[in-house]
Amino acid sequence: MQAIGEAINQTMATKLTWASEYCTNATHVPAHIKPRMPNDDDWDAVTEYQVEMQKLCDKYKVQKIIIDGQVVCPRCKCEQYTAETTAEFQSYADHLKKNDKTLVLYNQSVLQDETILYARFDNYRTEDEPLAYQNLLMMKQHATGILNGEKFNILLYGPPGVGKSHLSYSLLYDINVRSNNQMSCLFIDIDEMLRRLRDSFNNPESKYTELYFTRLMSEVDVLVLDDLGAETGNEQTEKRASDFTGRILRAVVNSRQQKVTVVTTNLGGEQLNKMYDGKMLSRLSKNRKAVLFDDRVKDKRPLEGY
């Protein structure tokens, strides 16, 4: 967005400099404003033009000229063009800023499986599965609550493959569309994020630094942290998350006290407490909505690919 802003400012400066130069010279007209005389056979109109052109501009006391078939003051015309150009570029800049929030979800989310990008509420399968249908309705309700300004966290817990990631991304997509581009959403696969971070240690050109991810995750309105605990490599492990992982997650969670954070995990509360800092988990549990899955929900992966 910074690069876009700089481009807009540079273009506006060029346009306004152009207008300023010509507005100070009453005898010169911009190249794109070409004087046009009436048709040759309309001599009465020619006479009227000639009479009008003898008059001086009341404001600038300069002789008028013909522009687009009208007798006008060239300096007044340049002022009008400058104002219109400024308004045009300001409108364009506002449009880009507005749409920049929508682009966060598509351009900056961190995924392992990009098929999740096609996840929607309406393609989550719930046939003959009352619990899956109930959870789908809950997530739709949570999306509406967030759009209405409610602030809470969401925990999706259950076995692999039941659609926790699907419903989480569907919630982000729904908010992205229905908020009229007023809310920024982000999906972060924790394991993939940490992999990119580790790669950046030996790659000074990589943008995926600790500061980059901390800022990105802290600033968005709605954040999904997908598959908490998977970065340890084994769901049955009792080892703690590394200090590095813990530091990043603490910084993000601490900065999001007044924002919505969604967490998906296959791990129960006892396992999470062994792996992560208690204060961090406590903050994630604040004002929490739980969406729970069990073996009554079928594995969605063979049907949908994720």
Residues 198-232 have pLDDT tens digits of 999 889 899 999 999 999 999 999 999 999 987 76
Domain of residue 91, residue span: 2-98
In the prediction, which pLDDT does 293 show?
92
Which residue carries 């690919």 as its tokens?
305
Is it the case that residue 98 has pLDDT exceeding 70? no
Last residue of a domain, one of 98, 129, 156: 98
58 and 114 share one domain: no
Last residue of a domain, one of 74, 98, 122: 98
Q: pLDDT per residue over 6-22, tens digit each?
A: 544 554 444 444 444 44
300 contacts: CB under 8 Å, gap ≥ 6:
124, 125, 161, 162, 163, 166, 306
Dihedral angle computed from the Cα positions of residues 76, 77, 83 and 88, in that order, rounded to the nearest 10 degrees: 170
Is it the case that residue 78 has pLDDT exceeding 90? no
116 and 83 share one domain: no
18 and 92 share one domain: yes
Question: What would the mean pLDDT of 96-108 be, rounded to a whole number?
Answer: 77
Q: What CATH number corresponds to the domain at position 243? A: 3.40.50.300
Is it the case that residue 134 has pLDDT exceeding 90? yes
- More confident call, 32 vs 266: 266
26 and 169 share one domain: no
85 and 13 share one domain: yes
Last residue of a domain, one of 98, 130, 162: 98
**Residue 215 falls inside a structural domain:** yes
Q: How far apart are CA 292 and CA 305, in angstroms?
A: 21
**Residue 203 falls inside a structural domain:** yes
